[in-house]
Amino acid sequence: MRRKLVAGNWKMNGSLAANAALVAGIKEGLAAQACDVAVCVPAPYLAQVQALVAGSPVGLGAQDMSAHASGAYTGEVSASMLQEFGVQYVILGHSERRAYHGESDAAVAAKTVAALKAGLVPLVCVGETLEQREAGQTNAVVGGQLDVVLAALSAEEAARIVVAYEPVWAIGTGKTATPEMAQEVHAMLRARLGAKSAEAAAKVCILYGGSMKPDNAQQLLAMGDIDGGLIGGAALKAADFLAIINAAA
Ligand code: PEP
């Protein structure tokens, strides 16, 4: 019922030449897809990748945005600027931004509101650290991160977000949550969405992210509440990204 989404998070990687080769490889290998596909690229490459994906099933995403509409916010990029470059998705609250840029739950919530107002689909990232998991705090931390965002949204808006569960200890480490571990958290997140609205629980895609690779994607994506993936390292190689897309389709 929910169409799966596989989104690549390129992080701070790429060059004009590497992007052209990567997108060409993805487009070449894409069959008629039964899932949605997107690439979330560094801001300076939005115009380039907008042109590269034009007319293809590959959607365009950004990796962050400001909660403000315009003004004296040096270095920031607004939702309407992203929109002008054909951006459909924006990653918000990635654990790297929370850790290195001090992004709070409240900031992520404000950005989510601004993204939705501009017609963008926010990919709202939540996830626990290893210490928090080992202390038995996973549901409280991850559920709490989502609750702050949901509290800022109407029921109708809540149904238009995408959630990405990304355990911090699994990002870029080669350690993946088992399908059962991930499913347990995804089911908890869906219940939180359900407390906001039945429509949100039914409609919202909950992606898994954290060392998803061609060899573990199928088992993860087979779980009932895992509706796709947010892919870091494996999104930088067309063959690996395509293998994950095929596992989702
Ligand atoms: C990410 O950073 O969103 C991510 C999931 O990275 P990786 O796949 O490399 O763990």
Contacts of 18 (CB under 8 A, 6+ apart): none
Give the pLDDT of residue 189: 98
Summarised one tens digit per residue, pLDDT across range 153-202 is: 999 999 999 999 999 999 988 888 899 999 999 999 999 999 999 999 99
Distance from residue 249's CA to the centre of ligand 1 (Å): 20
Summarised one tens digit per residue, pLDDT across range 77-93 is: 999 999 999 999 999 99
Domains belonging to the chain, first-starting first, are 5-248 (3.20.20.70)
Give the pLDDT of residue 32: 78
Give the pLDDT of residue 212: 96
Q: Does residue 94 carry a catalytic annotation?
A: yes
Q: Does residue 186 carry a catalytic annotation?
A: no
Complete DSSP assignment for the chain: -PPPEEEEE--S---HHHHHHHHHHHHHH--S-SSEEEEE--GGGHHHHHHHHTTSSEEEEES---SSSSSS-TT---HHHHHHTT--EEEES-HHHHHHS---HHHHHHHHHHHHHTT-EEEEEE---HHHHHTT-HHHHHHHHHHHHHHTS-HHHHTT-EEEE--GGGTTTS----HHHHHHHHHHHHHHHHHH-HHHHHH--EEEESS--HHHHHHHHTSTT--EEEESGGGGSHHHHHHHHHHH-
Write the ipTM: 0.97
Give the pLDDT of residue 34: 77
Options 76, 166, 184, 186, the catalytic residue: 166
Give the pLDDT of residue 118: 97
Give the pLDDT of residue 249: 87
Ligand 1 site residues, Cβ closer than 6 angstroms: 9, 166, 171-172, 209-212, 230-234
Options 94, 103, 128, 186, the catalytic residue: 94
10-residue mean pLDDT series, the chain (249 residues):
95 98 96 89 98 97 98 98 98 98 98 98 98 96 98 98 97 90 98 97 98 96 98 98 95
